[in-house]
Structure 1
Amino acid sequence: MNKILPTSTAGSLPKPLWLAEPQTLWSPWKLQGKELHAGKQDALRLALLQQQRAGIDIVSDGEQSRQHFVTTLIEHLDGVDFSRRETVRIRKRYDASVPTVVGPVSRKGSVFVDDAKFLRLQTKQPIKWALPGPMTMIDTLYDAHYKSRKALAWEFAKILNEEAKELAAAGVDIIQFDEPAFNVFFDDVNEWGIACLERAIEGLKCETAVHICYGYGIKANTDWKKTLGSEWRQYEAVFPKLQQSKIDIVSLECHNSRVPLELLALIRGKKVMVGVIDVASDSMETPEEVADTLRKALQYVDADKLYPCTNCGMAPLARHIANGKLHALAAGAEIVRQELLG
C-alpha cells in the first residue's frame, strides 16, 4: 500500500464472550452448528470494526473463526487421527497431548477460503490472512507415518501452497505464515525450514510474510523467556538466510523484549513488521512508547519497508486491553509518520 508505516496486527484478537471463554487461549466454542457459523461471522465483523475504529491499516479476521492457530487447519486434513493422542514437547517448552499422523497427509478442500471471502466483502482495506508454517505444524503433532520432520514439513508446505493460492484468489493481499518454531530449531530452519517456507509460497501472486515471535503471553512462554538472558539473539541464527529468501515480509517481536534492534540490519531490504505492542502484559503502551520503538527500528529498516505491528496475537487479553493497545499502535505510528513527512 502507498501509505507510509501502515499498521497491522500479528493475528489473533480476543473472541467475544458469547463465542468462547474470555481470556482463555484455544477455548472450546460456546455455540454449535449453524449458530456457531453465524457466531464466527459476527465475531469477524466485530474484530474488523475494532481494527477500523482503532485506525489499523492492514486488517485481518482476528482469527475469530479458528479455535487454534495450527490445529484448526490440521483438523481438515486427511492422514491425521485426532482420536489417537500422544504427548510431545512443544517447541522444547511444554508438553501437550497432540493428534497423530497415521498416513499420507492431504487437503480435502479449502479450509479458510470462505472465511477470507467473507472478510473481503466487508472492507476495501488491504487484508492479511495467517496460516501456520510447515515447521510449526510438525511441532504440533506426533508423526507415526513419515518418521521424518523434513519429509512431513515438505508435505505440509505443498498443502499450504494449495490453500494459500486459493486465499490469494479470494482477494487476500498478504498471506502470513506463523513460524514460532523458527526461533527454536535453528539448524533445521537453515537446512530445510526456509526451503519448505518457499515451497509454501511458490507461485503466489500476493505478498507473503513470515511471523517469528517468542509466543503468546502464557506461562510456558514467559518462563522460557526468563532463561534467555539479557539479550535475545535467536533471530540472529536465521535472519541471514531469511534475508536471501523469497519471502516478502518478516514479522518479529521488539517492544518490551530483549531483542537487540541492530539484528534488524540482518534482514535489510525486506519489509519488516516491527512488533511495537507487548502482548504478554496488560499494561497499555502509550503512543509515545510505540513511537520511540519505531524511531529506534528506523535506524535499521527503511521507512518505506517498516510496518508497525503487534509482537504476537492478542487472543488471551481482555478485549478492552487489546482495544487500547490497538489505538496506541495506530496513534504511535501516526506520530512517527508525521515526523517522516515533515
Structure 2
Amino acid sequence: MNIFSHILGLPRIGSMRELKIAQEKYWNDEIDLKSLFNTGKNIRKSNLKIQKEKGLDFISVGDFSWYDHVLHTSMMLGNVPNRYKMLEDTCINIDTLFRVARGFVTSEKTLHASEMTKWFNTNYHYIVPEFSKNTYFNFSWKQILEELDEAIKLKFHNIKPILLGPISYLWLGKVVDGKKFSKLELLDKILPIYRKIFLEFKNRKIKWVQIDEPILALDISKRWLEAFIYVYDYLHDKDLKVLLTTYFGSIAHNINTIKDIAVSGIHIDCVSENSELNIIKNKISKSSYISLGVINGRNIWKSNLKKIYEEIYDFVRYRKKIFISTSCSLLHVPVDLQLEKNMDINFRQNFSFAIQKCEEVCLLSKALKENKKSVLSKNVLKNFYKESNLYGLCSKIQEKHLRRNNSYDVRYTIQNKILNIPTLPTTTIGSFPQTKTLREARLKFKDNKISLEKYHSEIKEYIKNVISEQEKLGLDILVHGEPERNDMVEYFSEHLQGFLFTQFGWVQSYGSRYVKPPIIVGDVYRKKPITVKWSKYAQSKTNKLVKGMLTGPITILLWSFCREDISKYIISEQIAISLREEVKDLENAGIKIIQIDEPAFREGLPLRNKFKEKYFNWAVNSFKLSSSVVSDQTQIHTHMCYSDFNDIVEAVIRLDADVVTIESSRSNFKLLKCFKKIKYPNSIGPGIYDIHTTNIPSVSDMKNVIKKYIKIFDVKKIWINPDCGLKTRNWKEVRQSLKNMVIAAKDLRDKI
C-alpha cells in the first residue's frame, strides 16, 4: 500500500510577518533589493525545514509569493498589462510585479493598478490577469525554477513544485480590449510554456508536480470541461507525474470529465460541504493516486483524527494509492500555535495552526500506514463550549424584525427632507490614517503603561482633528476616523462576548495587508454599547452629519475562525442581534446615518449555483436583522468591495440599505454594468478612485468618472466617495485625493 503525506502550501508571510515588514521597507526605500530577497529566501528556507522536520513525505516548493500567486503566474507567463510595457525597462522583474499590483506614477502619466478580487470564497485577494486576443506569452519570470534550485542546493529531497494550472489561470482573468473572444483561445499560446517548465522539472529529477485547477469545483460549461482533456493530454509525460489539485468544494458534479483527464493523481477537498467522496471512490481509475484533503486548511480547530481515520479507512484500503493532505493551502491559517504563549492552555490545546496541521497530516498518514488508530489517541478535541439562552433569543425572531417600516422610496423622501443631503454628496468609507502617536498610545494602553483615561484622551484628540480636517476639505457627510479600532472585525469581536484572540495569528489578505482573525469559541452577545461613545463625541464637534460605523454580521462571521459545533446561520443571527442593539443605541444617541459594512458578503457565497439561494436567505436576513430596527428617517448605508457583483447584485437589492457604497475603480467600472442592467433602485456610491495605490487622481480625472456614473444612475441617488477606507494611506495622499474629489463633485453639482 502506497500512502504518502504532503500539504498544498504553507503561509509565505513568515512567523513574525517578516515579508510584510521587508516589502513595506522596500517600497519606502528603507532597504535595498538584496535585503528584500534575503527575507524571502529565509522564509522559504524555514518553510522547507518545517515540512522536513514534521515528516512530510513530499516537500512543497513554489507556494511562496511576493504579492499573490496568480500575479506570479502572470509574471511567469510574461503577461504584463500593455500600459506597463510602455516603461523604458521592459524586462519583467519584481518591480514590474509591484507596479502591476499597486499602480505606478511616471513623469507623463498615472498607470493604474490591475483589478483585485477575492480568491473564490476566501478573504484572500488576487490580482486579476488581463487578456486580449493578441496577448503574447513567454517564459519570463523564472522564480519557480530558482526556488527549486534553492531547495535542491539545500539538499531537500522529494520536492513537489506547485503551479497554478493554465485553465484556472485563464478563467480567473478578464478580457480588457472590448473584443469578444473566448479566453480558451489563448491556451495554445500558454501550453508550450508549461511544457517547457515541465522539461525543466524533469531535468531536475522531479517526480511529482502539483497543478492547481480549483475551477473544477465550480459549475463550468462543457467547453471549459473539455479543455481539461485537451490540456493534460498535451502536457502528459510518463516521466513526470501530475497531481491535479482542486479545493474549496466538491468535484463530484464534474467527475465524468475528471476521470478521463490524463494525470497521475487527483486531490480532493474532503472538508468542504458536500465533498461526496463516495461518488469519487469508484469513478477514478485505481491506477491513479487520490490525495485526500482531510485536514481543514481554512480553520484553526484541531482535527478529530480518530474520526477522520474511521471515515476514510475503507476508502484507503480500497484505493491503495493515497496521499494524505490538507484540504487547501495553509496560507489561510496562522503560522505557528506555539507562538501563542499568553493563550489559556484550555483553549490552546484545541487549536492547530499551519505548522501543527503538518503534524496532523503526518500523524494520520502514519496511523494509516501502520494500521494503528491507537497512535491518534493524543489528538483529541476537548469540548469547552458553554451554552447560553441565546438560542431562545434567536427563536423569537419574527418577519417584522427583518424589514423597515416603509419602502426605500418612502424613506428616501423622508430622509432628503430631514437630513438635507445635497446632490452628489461627498463622504468617505470610514477609516483615516492612524498616527504614530495613536498607535503608540494603543500599545502602551495594552501594556498597562498608560491609563484608560489617557488613552481615551488621545482618541478624542484624534477625532477632533479628523473632524476638523474633513470640514476644511469640504466633505458633506463626515466620519470619526475609527482611531479606536485596530481592525474592522477584531475591534468589534473584542467588545462582544464569545470571542478569543491571538497575539501572532496573522493571515495574509493581499500583498502586505494581513489580518488577525478572532476565534469564535462561544455564543456571541453584547454586554454594553461599543461605538456609541465615539460616534456621539464626533457628532458633538461638528454641525455636519457624522456616520456611525459598524462591521456587519456576515463580515464578522466570515472574517473570524468560526466554531464548528453549530451552523454559521445561528452564529450570524447571534452577531446580528448584538449589532441590532448597537444600531438602536446609535440612533437613540442622535446618529442619523449608520453604515454597516459587509465587504465579505460575496465571500460567503457557495461555489455551486444550487446552494447559493440558501446562503442568500440567511445572509440577507442577518443583515436586515441588524439594520431594520431604526425609524425611516435614519439612513442605513453598507459598503462592499472587491467582489464580483454579478453574482450578488439581486441579493444586494434585498439588503434594502438606503445607500450601498462599492469598489469599482480598479475594475475600470465594469462592476457597475450589473447594477445598471438590473436598474438598482436605491442610492449608490461607486468608489471614484482606488485607495490601494499611491496614485492621486486629478480633479479632471474624477469629474470624468462622476460623469460616467451620471449616465448610469439617477444623479439624485449617486454618492461620491473613495472605493474603500483610508487607513492604509498617509495623510498627504489622503488630503490631496479628497480635496480633488470634493472639488470635482461640487463643480458638477453646480452645473446640474
Corresponding residue for residue 196 of structure 1:
622
Q: Is the 8 A contact 2:489 2:517 kept in 1?
A: no
Question: Cα distance 1:267–1:120, how it changes in 2: closer, same or farther (>3 A)?
Answer: farther
Corresponding residue for residue 222 of structure 1:
none
What is the CA distance between 1:40 and its match in structure 2?
0.5
Question: In structure 2, what is the Cα distance between the partners aligned to 1:330 and 1:94?
Answer: 28
Corresponding residue for residue 637 of structure 2:
209
What is the CA distance between 1:94 and its match in structure 2?
8.8
Question: In structure 2, what is the Cα distance between the partners aligned to 1:252 and 1:132?
Answer: 15
Q: Is the 8 A contact 2:620 2:654 kept in 1?
A: no
Task: Please identify, of 175-184 and 239-248, the stretch whose mean Cα deviation from structure 2 is larger.
Answer: 239-248
Q: Which amino acid counterpart does residue 726 of structure 2 have in structure 1?
A: M
What is the CA distance between 1:320 and its match in structure 2?
0.8
Q: Is the 8 A contact 2:593 2:637 kept in 1?
A: yes
SS of corresponding position for 1:150: helix
Per-residue deviation, residues 207-242 of structure 1 (Å, max 9, x unmatched) = 11110012xxxxxxxxxxxxxxxxxx7111111232
Question: In structure 2, what is the Cα distance between the partners aligned to 1:277 and 1:323?
Answer: 14
| 1:81-120 mapped onto 2 (5 Å cutoff) | 81-82=500-501, 97-120=516-539
Q: Which amino acid counterpart does residue 330 of structure 1 have in structure 2?
A: V
Per-residue deviation, residues 130-151 of structure 1 (Å, max 9, x unmatched) = 2111111012222236532221
Task: Check if 1:154 corresponds to 2:573.
Answer: yes
SS of corresponding position for 1:62: coil
Per-residue deviation, residues 8-52 of structure 1 (Å, max 9, x unmatched) = 00111102221127xxxxx95455422211000111111111111
Corresponding residue for residue 262 of structure 1:
673
Question: Cα distance 1:327–1:164, how it changes in 2: closer, same or farther (>3 A)?
Answer: same
Q: Which amino acid counterpart does residue 673 of structure 2 have in structure 1?
A: E
Corresponding residue for residue 3 of structure 1:
422
Report sequence identity in percent: 24
Pick aligned residue for 2:498 from 79, 94, 118? 79
Structure 1: gaps spanning 5 or more residues: 22-26, 215-232
Question: In structure 1, what is the Cα distance between the partners aligned to 2:482 and 2:473?
Answer: 18
Corresponding residue for residue 645 of structure 2:
235
Corresponding residue for residue 335 of structure 1:
747
Question: In structure 2, what is the Cα distance between the partners aligned to 1:99 and 1:318?
Answer: 27
Question: Cα distance 1:283–1:240, how it changes in 2: closer, same or farther (>3 A)?
Answer: same
Report which of the two structures shows the higher radius of gyration computed on alpha carbons: 2
Q: Kindly report structure 1 stretches of 4+ aligned residues shifted beyond 4 Å.
A: 83-91, 93-97
Q: Which amino acid counterpart does residue 740 of structure 2 have in structure 1?
A: A
Task: Check if 1:142 corresponds to 2:561.
Answer: yes
Q: Is the 8 A contact 1:182 1:212 kept in 2?
A: yes
SS of corresponding position for 2:685: strand
Q: Is the 8 A contact 2:426 2:742 kept in 1?
A: yes
Q: Which amino acid counterpart does residue 246 of structure 1 have in structure 2?
A: D
Corresponding residue for residue 219 of structure 1:
none
Question: In structure 2, what is the Cα distance between the partners aligned to 1:179 and 1:244?
Answer: 14
SS of corresponding position for 1:273: strand
Q: Which has the higher strand share?
A: 1
Question: Cα distance 1:53–1:46, how it changes in 2: closer, same or farther (>3 A)?
Answer: same
Q: Is the 8 A contact 1:177 1:209 kept in 2?
A: yes
Question: In structure 1, what is the Cα distance between the partners aligned to 2:506 and 2:437?
Answer: 31
Pick aligned residue for 1:279 from 685, 691, 700? 691
Pick aligned residue for 1:56 from 466, 475, 480? 475
Corresponding residue for residue 245 of structure 1:
655
Question: Which one has more relative contact order, counting CA pairs under 8 Å at least 6 apart?
Answer: 1
Figure out how many residues of one structure are paired with residues of the other and give that number. Answer: 316
What is the CA distance between 1:177 and its match in structure 2?
1.3
Question: In structure 2, what is the Cα distance between the partners aligned to 1:38 and 1:208?
Answer: 29
Q: Which amino acid counterpart does residue 245 of structure 1 have in structure 2?
A: L
- Normalising by the residue count of structure 1, what TM-score does the alignment of the two structures yield? 0.85
Q: Which amino acid counterpart does residue 193 of structure 1 have in structure 2?
A: A
SS of corresponding position for 1:74: helix
SS of corresponding position for 2:725: coil
What is the CA distance between 1:120 and its match in structure 2?
1.4
Question: In structure 1, what is the Cα distance between the partners aligned to 2:463 and 2:569?
Answer: 35
Question: Cα distance 1:138–1:84, how it changes in 2: closer, same or farther (>3 A)?
Answer: farther
Question: Cα distance 1:42–1:76, how it changes in 2: closer, same or farther (>3 A)?
Answer: same
Question: In structure 2, what is the Cα distance between the partners aligned to 1:87 and 1:289?
Answer: 37
Task: Please identify, of 187-196 and 288-297, the stretch whose mean Cα deviation from structure 2 is larger.
Answer: 187-196
Structure 2: gaps spanning 5 or more residues: 1-419, 606-611
Question: Cα distance 1:2–1:87, how it changes in 2: closer, same or farther (>3 A)?
Answer: closer
